[in-house]
Structure 1
């Protein structure tokens, strides 16, 4: 294929203009002379009317904005709302001649019946992937029109994940929980890849299959539809623009497309000295594809993509010719109280926190997540394993067909993201038949028939390119370290939780009779105290170290990044290295210490003392650091300066923890200093907390400012400190949050809320704020605190 493509490129050079400079003046003139049928995309998240149909407490229609969850849930979700609800919105239509109107839904959980002006338009089943409605035939011009969406999140064994909520290891929250766009085009337009339903086509498809530092050769396939009443002669133009402004333009020969039909045009492209995408240097290109008729632009579509070369072999995963070990985590897309209804910015902040923790890889457990998260991973440099919806359930023929369709839709939606390197077209921990496994891989390979399309499955079947068992799927003490095959590498898809929870009880997560003692589990809330948080960190360390002993292990993903709710359990699943409010536990800093200093973005020397240094603290002090030496001081006195000493639980780690012993507890200050090449490069101080005195308010923005032109949601933390500003981890005061009157903002969550390990948390939700947002917090015997978030 590579040689054929190279020949095609050479043959087309005479027809292709290639350059590395600004577009010529003629293009600017054409921009000014665009037809009225040019594409527009409008965010449609505001001004919806909503009501629950199966809720006895429903009082009628209410005004809401999207993303929206059907009901605000408690922190621990033990009686999640399920049922039917209706959303409707009015919109004005003027002249519609030679225009197409599409409503694009990024995600509705999990059944949606759409009507336009009371006419049924489409029924969609499946809550994790997008669908598009062609509203054009149902519109009434020069009048108000109404779109109505009836949604259901009821148990349905034919819709993946299929398992009833009460037995599911995660929750699916109802509502139009992702964005909705109104897209208007002319009658000749570039299609949506999922809506087009074309194998290995639809919309824009970008692939590079010959990549080096000198040159990247590939193609862009553009699929467009002619819904006019006459044949059209169309020219497709493709433009890549690098971050530093270099442009590369490719123009295909004109193509005739008859009325009512579609066409896919494949353009060979060649980028000299490409900026290659990687976790340490996530270079992206802006790709613009334009359709021209008679020299005038009639449609365009723009995306961001990256150029990277990936190769999977039994000895490792290679990125841009270099072997890369995948150190990853799992992520559920859930927030407290609002379920799945995260803003795009909130999804970015999750990716930012994962990157900050030192990971380079995320497994999207156990379903496709919102496009904004993929875009954040493209930008920040996180590799992804895309997953179809599934967990411990294999349904009937209708369920299986929908799972296969999920593979198609997932591949069509996500194929242009440089971050996506593996496709988990496997129903997680489910008893799939061999016939289904083979069919699922055939579907993926038809959608993406390329050498670097790698499928992944939890069952060791030759149809999969990558075997992805959880650590607990094998037996201790070796787990998967002795696995031996000649043709298939392993990525440990989950580790650090279940093997410390139920003594390898397999898949029966309701068998609670054979548990380890409570202190042994990795499921520890942030309020569990030093001893248990240190145990959790040690569990992850031990499992991480053990996984590195496997000869064919190319990577791993811990279970997991953030705490979350489950359908089958009435408590939080607390094995996250950060809690459900995204506040780090000690384990977070263990992972951060495994990232090499000075190795790219989000990489720096660090040191962290895993202690609160109170009277009850252990005199054995654990310090996580990626430096060469650490010195520990108590009240200014040097206790020791040492290098890490590896043992059976750390002998494979890039950076083993540093262990110190203190003879006697002495209140005051513990200070750790990290050294590289003899120079102090990092410091961390822990002080013995005194009597509570103040509240300190903080807003968690994590690399992304509060949105001002669209809905957003952020965490507000009230930290209870002593007079010196030291957090008091024993404080559990009830904290009351108050929002200064602001019609564009609201607080969501328990209020008042008891502080957990010294921090009380609440959500702030905003929609296009017009003024600064002022929040207050107070508690008994403590001065009121305030924070202002500028518009």
Structure 2
């Protein structure tokens, strides 16, 4: 089965579990998607006359005063563009070849201080609220805006949020109109970056409108468990808050249902009186027998429903998914439910081909599925708070998460960001470890770093005593600053220093927070410094990093390594090491920006999965190289491998653990076949010389598309010869059209492609090393969806939903 077929099966198997952490209730609380019907317009950071008059009008002198600006409810936004969230305006901009280090690291998109005309984004949305909801409370939740956001409702300023990654919620009750349309306005300022990688710009994550009672359960519910044998003692902590005008006598309890919705337990109701505008902290427990544990192999999820009632009537509740599991992190390993596991992780940024940072929820499941298929069991959110849906995907699919704070800083701003991160993510069973920061050169080794770390660690223990923390340090055997106080020592590279550090600190757990960093370009086998390509094998690494076979054998055989996280699972925009322009994205990924695997993917798959793996590279289309030597690599976890060219044996070799095999083969067209023995069983794999491209092949990631306006499908594109073989070096231009749904992005994994990711119709993309990708988003109404692909001199293809 080829990679594309495996992607289809893997994603089909996971699609049905898409949910949100806080589901809409039938009890008076509603949580509705607020992603549709926004208007968008670029502002200007340097010219106030082109920034919706924001810098000229006096808008803070009187409450609600917003005349003559885009903040005003009567502002005419008819000329603004219609957008659906999530939205990233940076990915829509053209590439700019400018000799600027910051621009290079952000993928040559013209956003930032040098480009004030592209660095401010204005969003407006009109919405109505039913008069029947008068007396309710209303709040808006933004899961992520990049960056430095300011928000108004009906001209009233709600406040700002500096972080580009941690979401925020604002109560809008006092500003809602029930008789006329309401207007919410957002100004996002992406002038200043937070990272040294592509970050996007705009409201690039989901937005939610919540409606609830004046007596309600706050957002910071905390669910955790103590497991003894097959019994789990569940603790639920919640804050009941009243924004009513008089004291209220109410009752609080929580119900638990299993994954099938069956009732399995309930806490004892507790009655109390809550003061006017007061709050009451609640902590209750219940016991579950014959509990199903959450694990990587069986990610079982329960639901807990905290409920508050008045005179027997339910007035508010939450629906929170949680998993019951134990995690112990010791000097000799990570133990999940008492079982030793080696961390086989990847680091990843959040962008994807064609989409920038604005990913539909389904893409989170798609990307995690690809990593799971490779054998990865852990994901580090480098270097920032993830979108909530990524954690939902990891909960559902069984992927551990190292959840990371953006900066090592204990100022009120960053301590608040860390607190929001902890409260938001602590109910996810996938999160097994926190990270308080990454490679802070200014504070890593001195007393500043130590004191900041102590403050952050104290906050983590206060809000989540069930887990511990690490810090990603790019140091060798150093025990100063942050490392004096961090519970789990993180190593970014410096893999050969780990043994010495362990000898000096034998009781401290050690994890490779960043390892590897082999530089490869999918399907390319010769270094090209002009175009910016590197050979697609484990042979090139930057000076500060290592190749796969230099770090993984150390981690695999030594239990004082908890394991590690490869830099990276996917290529990402920016940091085009070791080249600059024309490169616009990194080469670090085991997969490219589309999720197409490179050959290094199969090295890790060989040693991270207990399944038969046998992969031969390169492809076998080398016209003009007849009689010349071609270096052939075989990645496998077999005991031995024999290689054949057109039926003739080229020799059998034993496979060393955590390694690979090589042959220098004199090229002849035909069939290159590997036959291996693993545990007494024969397995085989081959590559063949193909004919010329003949027809297009479309491989969708799933066969069902929900008409909810949010669902998506990834369609991978290749071309076949007349014998039905995929042509691995095809470079045809493919043109796309879609009826009944929307194309939202295209890509091909070429790190030097300057083709547009977004197009106003006329969608197209060249194949790169045989593949490209088109991403489709569903419409809001059930109808036929037809996706077509065409190319000059090729038979076309289409999909129907």
Q: TM-score range by the shorter chain?
A: 0.7 to 0.9
1:443 Cα deviation from its structure 2 partner: 1.8
The alpha-carbon distance between structure 1 residues 740 and 40, as it changes in their structure 2 partners (threshold 3 A), is closer
Distance in 2 between the 1:737 and 1:536 partners?
35
1:444 Cα deviation from its structure 2 partner: 1.4
| Conserved 8 A contact 1:745-1:769 | no
Which residue is equivalent to 2:734?
A: 736
> C-alpha deviations, 1:539-578, integer Å up to 9, x for none?
3133211344555211101110111112785421111011
Q: Secondary structure at the match of 1:426?
A: strand
Distance in 2 between the 1:593 and 1:486 partners?
30
1:233 Cα deviation from its structure 2 partner: 2.0
Which residue is equivalent to 1:441?
A: 457
Distance in 2 between the 1:349 and 1:732 partners?
25
1:700 Cα deviation from its structure 2 partner: 3.6
| Conserved 8 A contact 1:241-1:287 | yes
Q: Secondary structure at the match of 2:202?
A: coil
* Correspondent of 1:177 among 180, 189, 204: 204
Which residue is equivalent to 2:673?
A: 671
1:188 Cα deviation from its structure 2 partner: 0.7
| Conserved 8 A contact 1:73-1:338 | no
* Correspondent of 1:67 among 86, 89, 109: 86
Which residue is equivalent to 1:453?
A: 468
* Correspondent of 1:212 among 222, 228, 244: 228
Which residue is equivalent to 2:600?
A: 587
1:642 Cα deviation from its structure 2 partner: 5.6
| Conserved 8 A contact 1:744-1:769 | no
| Conserved 8 A contact 2:713-2:776 | yes
Q: Is residue 282 from structure 1 mapped to residue 299 from structure 2 by the alignment?
A: yes
Q: Secondary structure at the match of 1:349?
A: helix
Q: Which residues in structure 2 correspond to 1:744-783 (within 5 Å)? A: 744-745=742-743, 748=746, 749=756, 751-768=763-780, 770-783=782-795
Distance in 2 between the 1:309 and 1:466 partners?
17
Q: Is residue 79 from structure 1 mapped to residue 132 from structure 2 by the alignment?
A: no
* Correspondent of 2:524 among 525, 528, 541: 528
Q: Secondary structure at the match of 2:597?
A: coil
Which residue is equivalent to 2:39?
A: 49
> C-alpha deviations, 1:653-687, integer Å up to 9, x for none?
3xx43x3647643422233345444334x543311
1:530 Cα deviation from its structure 2 partner: 7.3
Q: Structure 2 unaligned segments of length 5 or more: list them.
A: 1-23, 53-77, 97-106, 113-118, 528-534, 542-546, 747-755, 758-762
* Correspondent of 2:562 among 554, 568, 582: 554
**Normalised by the size of structure 1, how large is the TM-score?**
0.80
Distance in 2 between the 1:50 and 1:68 partners?
10
Distance in 2 between the 1:146 and 1:154 partners?
25
| Conserved 8 A contact 1:640-1:660 | no
Which residue is equivalent to 1:544?
A: 552
More displaced stretch, 224-233 vs 36-45 = 36-45
Q: Which residues in structure 2 correspond to 1:289-688 (within 5 Å)? A: 289-390=306-407, 400-432=411-443, 433=448, 434-450=450-466, 452-458=467-473, 460=479, 461-472=483-494, 478-483=496-501, 484=503, 485-497=505-517, 522-529=518-525, 532-536=535-539, 539-548=547-556, 550=558, 552-566=560-574, 570=581, 571=583, 572-597=585-610, 604-615=611-622, 616=625, 621-630=632-641, 632-636=643-647, 643-644=654-655, 646=656, 650=657, 653=658, 656-657=659-660, 659=661, 661=663, 664-680=666-682, 682-688=683-689
| Conserved 8 A contact 2:344-2:608 | no
Q: Secondary structure at the match of 1:576?
A: coil
Q: Is residue 252 from structure 1 mapped to residue 275 from structure 2 by the alignment?
A: no
The alpha-carbon distance between structure 1 residues 731 and 422, as it changes in their structure 2 partners (threshold 3 A), is same
1:408 Cα deviation from its structure 2 partner: 0.8
Q: Is residue 123 from structure 1 mapped to residue 160 from structure 2 by the alignment?
A: yes
Distance in 2 between the 1:154 and 1:35 partners?
39
More displaced stretch, 629-638 vs 98-107 = 629-638
Q: Secondary structure at the match of 2:451?
A: helix
Q: Structure 1 unaligned segments of length 5 or more: list them.
A: 1-33, 162-167, 194-203, 498-521, 598-603
* Correspondent of 1:235 among 220, 230, 251: 251
More displaced stretch, 764-773 vs 137-146 = 764-773
| Conserved 8 A contact 1:559-1:575 | yes
1:766 Cα deviation from its structure 2 partner: 4.0
More displaced stretch, 413-422 vs 214-223 = 214-223
Q: Secondary structure at the match of 1:256?
A: strand
> C-alpha deviations, 1:127-177, integer Å up to 9, x for none?
111111111111122221111111111216xxxx3xxxxxx4312211111
Which residue is equivalent to 1:724?
A: 723
Q: Secondary structure at the match of 2:548?
A: helix
The alpha-carbon distance between structure 1 residues 726 and 250, as it changes in their structure 2 partners (threshold 3 A), is same
Q: Secondary structure at the match of 1:54?
A: coil
Distance in 2 between the 1:35 and 1:550 partners?
49
More displaced stretch, 138-147 vs 549-558 = 549-558
The alpha-carbon distance between structure 1 residues 256 and 674, as it changes in their structure 2 partners (threshold 3 A), is farther
Q: Secondary structure at the match of 1:482?
A: helix
1:628 Cα deviation from its structure 2 partner: 4.2
More displaced stretch, 716-725 vs 229-238 = 716-725
Q: Is residue 101 from structure 1 mapped to residue 135 from structure 2 by the alignment?
A: no
Q: Is residue 691 from structure 1 mapped to residue 698 from structure 2 by the alignment?
A: no
Distance in 1 between the 2:332 and 2:617 partners?
35
1:307 Cα deviation from its structure 2 partner: 0.8
1:639 Cα deviation from its structure 2 partner: 5.4
| Conserved 8 A contact 1:86-1:150 | yes
1:182 Cα deviation from its structure 2 partner: 0.9
Q: Secondary structure at the match of 1:251?
A: coil
More displaced stretch, 314-323 vs 747-756 = 747-756
Distance in 1 between the 2:787 and 2:25 partners?
48
Q: Secondary structure at the match of 2:456?
A: helix
Distance in 1 between the 2:526 and 2:604 partners?
17
The alpha-carbon distance between structure 1 residues 486 and 132, as it changes in their structure 2 partners (threshold 3 A), is same
The alpha-carbon distance between structure 1 residues 618 and 106, as it changes in their structure 2 partners (threshold 3 A), is farther
Distance in 2 between the 1:301 and 1:54 partners?
41
Q: Secondary structure at the match of 1:608?
A: strand
The alpha-carbon distance between structure 1 residues 660 and 535, as it changes in their structure 2 partners (threshold 3 A), is closer
1:256 Cα deviation from its structure 2 partner: 1.5
| Conserved 8 A contact 2:630-2:666 | yes
The alpha-carbon distance between structure 1 residues 118 and 440, as it changes in their structure 2 partners (threshold 3 A), is same
Distance in 1 between the 2:330 and 2:614 partners?
35
Which residue is equivalent to 2:125?
A: 89
1:757 Cα deviation from its structure 2 partner: 0.8
Q: Secondary structure at the match of 2:469?
A: coil
The alpha-carbon distance between structure 1 residues 74 and 723, as it changes in their structure 2 partners (threshold 3 A), is farther
Which residue is equivalent to 2:709?
A: 710
| Conserved 8 A contact 2:555-2:562 | no
1:536 Cα deviation from its structure 2 partner: 4.8
| Conserved 8 A contact 2:470-2:487 | yes
The alpha-carbon distance between structure 1 residues 526 and 420, as it changes in their structure 2 partners (threshold 3 A), is same
Count of residue correspondences: 681
